[in-house]
């Protein structure tokens, strides 16, 4: 009986490139059909993708469908953009396929719940490291490894946030598969450990980036406050909508600079 998730075997029975080749052949497509760039701006919430397209001015022409996701290659930009499924397993499924198609740098936009009492609705946060309380990351990294975001991409994000006067903080995040089991006991535990926020994907995405030799980071927006005696959501709040627009502008500018690293 296996006592751990990480297997010493490589490759896997189904490699991402093998699956992508099969799926594309079934549709009569080639890997180059998508025009996928090496830098990808990913949104974990469909609303955030709408803000990204607004910043770009108009929907880029000729979108492509990659599985169930619409992929855009904005005119005069050297990055692609699409929305990722939520949750670690499905987000990693898409990330692996994008890597198999040639993408190498990933900037995610998403929401997170605040654990630190100094955070409020609409605050922006870069997860530097992730506490792993989901299952997917353990198939990619040993249990004692702490997944970390790409410091080079983080620096670019911070620079553009500063230029656009968007306050951004950074620190560790707790990633869980079970948002309905974020109990008061667990929240106190992670607060005492200095964890700033909670989400459902980052630990797994950062682990895949490390395993595949790709750069991954994120700009997350506080959508709810989990540190009160009762949950306080901010979905639909004016400050959250304003932060989403500002964060989209920062991420488009950062993705443009990150794409320029290819040259």
Task: Give 77-109 pLDDT, tens digit per residue.
Answer: 899 999 999 999 999 999 999 999 999 999 999
Kindly state whether residue 243 falls inside one of the protein's structural domains.
yes
Q: Which residues pair with 79 in a beta bridge?
A: 39
Task: Give 224-254 pLDDT, tens digit per residue.
Answer: 999 999 999 999 999 999 999 999 999 999 9
Q: What is the pLDDT along the chain (263 residues), one digit of tens a residue?
A: 455 789 888 889 999 999 999 988 888 888 888 889 999 999 999 999 999 999 998 767 667 887 788 999 988 889 999 999 999 999 999 999 999 999 999 999 999 999 999 999 999 999 999 999 999 999 999 999 999 999 999 999 999 999 999 999 999 999 999 999 999 999 999 999 999 999 999 999 999 999 999 999 999 999 999 999 999 999 999 999 999 999 999 999 999 999 998 75
Per-residue b or e along 103-127, where b marks 16 or more CB atoms closer than 10 Å to that residue's CB: bbbbbbbbbbbbbbeebebbbbbbb
Kindly state whether residue 2 falls inside one of the protein's structural domains.
no
Kindly state whether residue 11 falls inside one of the protein's structural domains.
no
CATH of the domain at 77: 3.40.50.1580
Number of separate domains in the chain:
1
| Whole-angstrom distance, CA of residue 229 vs CA of residue 42 | 33
Kindly state whether residue 45 falls inside one of the protein's structural domains.
yes
Kindly state whether residue 6 falls inside one of the protein's structural domains.
no
The domain containing residue 152 runs over which residues?
16-260
Taking alpha carbons only, the member of 59, 57, 101 closest to residue 81 is 59
Taking alpha carbons only, the member of 88, 84, 101 closest to residue 18 is 101
């Amino acid at each position: 009986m296996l006592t751990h998730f990480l297997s010493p075997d490589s490759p896997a029975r189904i490699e991402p490139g093998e699956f992508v080749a099969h799926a594309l052949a079934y549709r009569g497509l080639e890997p180059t059909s998508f025009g996928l760039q090496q830098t990808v701006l990913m949104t974990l919430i469909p609303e955030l993708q709408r803000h990204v397209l607004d910043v770009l001015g108009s929907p880029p022409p000729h979108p492509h469908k990659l599985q169930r996701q619409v992929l855009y290659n904005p005119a005069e930009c050297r990055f692609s953009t699409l929305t990722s499924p939520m949750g670690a397993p499905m987000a990693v499924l898409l990330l692996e396929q994008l890597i198999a198609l040639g993408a190498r740098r990933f900037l995610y936009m998403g929401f997170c719940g605040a654990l630190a009492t100094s955070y409020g609705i609409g605050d922006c946060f870069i997860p530097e490291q992730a506490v792993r309380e989901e299952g997917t990351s353990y198939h990619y990294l040993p249990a004692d490894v702490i997944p970390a975001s790409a410091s080079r991409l983080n620096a670019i994000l911070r620079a553009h946030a500063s230029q656009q006067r968007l306050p951004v903080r950074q620190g560790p995040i707790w990633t869980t598969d079970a948002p309905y089991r974020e109990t008061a006991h667990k929240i106190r535990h992670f607060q005492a450990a200095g964890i700033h926020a909670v989400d459902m994907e980052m630990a797994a995405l950062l682990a895949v980036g490390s395993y595949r030799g790709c750069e991954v980071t994120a700009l997350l927006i506080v959508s709810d406050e989990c540190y009160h005696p009762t949950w306080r959501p901010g979905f639909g709040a004016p400050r959250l909508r304003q932060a989403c627009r500002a964060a989209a502008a920062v991420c488009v500018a950062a993705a443009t600079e990150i794409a320029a690293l290819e040259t």
